[in-house]
Amino acid sequence: MQAWGFFLLIMAPLIGGAAAIFMKKSSLENYKLVLSFSGAFLFSVSLIHLFPVVFDNNENAGIYVLAGFFIQVLLEQLTHGIEHGHFHQHQEHHKYIFGLLMGLTIHSFFDGIPLSDFKMLEQSHHSLLFGISIHKIPEGFALASVLLFSNYKKLTVVFIVLLFSFAAPAAVLLSNTFSAAGNGLFSIIVPMAVGSFLHVSTTILFESESKQHFFGWKKIIAILLGAGISLLTI
Ligand SMILES: [Zn+2]
Ligand SMILES: [Zn+2]
């Protein structure tokens, strides 16, 4: 991945974090639209770009996609859904925050792996990078919000979000060093990352506040835009 890619990947959660610090509560509805857009985009990019490659390289890819999906279910027990932009406005315990950061960092590692420089995903690199970066904006936003609601100082929040923003790029660098060893490991780990994307993106789409799966036309437009723009990347 080129330098601007790393820059984008680091900036995305920082932009989200900054928005959480400076945004008025009244713009929360717009936030949900950004969230829906990012979910639809990531979902479409996974299906259009990642699925074909993953199943081409490993006939058992389905098993690994499933494994990644359920690992994400487990991670969510730690993060309470921060990675899909979910946060609650009550005070969290410090023990919870530690688990949250751990779960989120592991998740972010998965986010970065498909972006490493290995052959099989070369062609769809840009759309993947955009899809994953856009998804990291609400991630940074939700993380900063939870920390702010838990009464952490702004400076501490900035520091933690900054640290967090390096998790995915670190995964890219780490898997770059492993990618020299061949495609074997990647034909297992990338499907697992895809499984986690499936979980995160579909949760965003179907988790509506009303609990009645009622979307509203603004959200439907945001979703159609996300899917539509990803179609342009073919
Ligand atoms: Zn949620
Ligand atoms: Zn993520």
For every residue of 174-207, DSSP letters joined together read HHHHHHTT-STTHHHHHHHHHHHHHHHHHHHHH-
Q: Distance from the CA of 193 to the center of ligand 2, in angstroms?
A: 10
Q: Distance from the CA of 83 to the center of ligand 2, in angstroms?
A: 5
* pLDDT number for residue 9: 94
* pLDDT number for residue 182: 66
Question: Which of 140, 202, 117 minimizes the C-alpha distance to 13?
Answer: 140
Q: Distance from the CA of 137 to the center of ligand 2, in angstroms?
A: 9
Q: Distance from the CA of 18 to the center of ligand 1, in angstroms?
A: 21
Query: What does the pLDDT average to over 197-208?
Result: 86
% pLDDT > 70, the chain: 89
pLDDT tens for each residue of 127-149: 889 889 999 999 999 999 889 88
> pTM for the complete prediction?
0.87
- Cβ–Cβ under 8 Å, residues 139 and 200: no
Query: What does the pLDDT average to over 44-62?
Result: 90
- Cβ–Cβ under 8 Å, residues 36 and 162: no
Q: Distance from the CA of 217 to the center of ligand 2, in angstroms?
A: 26
Q: Distance from the CA of 2 to the center of ligand 2, in angstroms?
A: 20
Q: Distance from the CA of 177 to the center of ligand 1, in angstroms?
A: 34
Q: CA 195, CA 154: separation in Å to the nearest integer?
A: 34
Q: Distance from the CA of 139 to the center of ligand 2, in angstroms?
A: 6
Q: Distance from the CA of 149 to the center of ligand 2, in angstroms?
A: 21
Q: Distance from the CA of 181 to the center of ligand 1, in angstroms?
A: 37
* pLDDT number for residue 225: 93
- Cβ–Cβ under 8 Å, residues 230 and 48: yes
- What letter represents residue 67's amino acid? A
Q: Distance from the CA of 139 to the center of ligand 1, in angstroms?
A: 12
* Smallest-distance ligand from the CA of 38: 2
Q: CA 160, CA 152: separation in Å to the nearest integer?
A: 10
Torsion of CA 19, 20, 25, 28, to 10 degrees: 70
pLDDT tens for each residue of 180-201: 666 677 888 889 999 999 999 9
Q: Is the dihedral of CA 86, 92, 162, 110 positive or negative?
A: negative
Indicate the SS3 state at residue 160.
helix
- What letter represents residue 170's amino acid? A
* pLDDT number for residue 143: 92
Indicate the SS3 state at residue 229.
helix
Does the structure show a pLDDT above 90 at 18? yes
Q: Distance from the CA of 4 to the center of ligand 2, in angstroms?
A: 19
At 119, the pLDDT band (50, 70, 90 cuts) reads: low
Indicate the SS3 state at residue 217.
helix
pLDDT tens for each residue of 153-184: 999 999 999 999 999 999 999 888 877 666 67
Q: Which two tokens stand for residue 150?
A: 């838990």
